[in-house]
A = this chain, B = another copy of it.
Amino acid sequence: MSQDIRPGEEQLPFDPADRTEAGLSFIGAIRSPWSKGDCPRNIARARESGKGARIELRPGYGRGLLGLSVGQPVIAVYWMDRARRDLIVQSPGHADGPRGTFALRSPVRPNSLAMAVVVITSLDAGAGVIGIDAIDVFDGTPLVDLKPWLSTVDIPPGWTPEA
Contacts and interface: CB of A to CB of B under 8 A. Distances in A.
Nearest to A115: B115
Interface in A121-153: 125, 133, 142, 144-153
Nearest to A130: B102
Nearest to A81: B22
Contacts of A63: 10, 88-89, 100
A156 B119 contact: yes
A64 B160 contact: no
B21 A100 contact: no
Interface of A: 10, 12-14, 16-17, 19-27, 42-44, 47, 60-61, 63-68, 73-75, 77, 79, 81, 85, 88-89, 98-105, 109-113, 115-119, 125, 133, 142, 144-157, 159-161
A-B pairs, top 4 by smallest CB distance, nearest first, are A20-B23, A67-B103, A66-B100, A73-B156
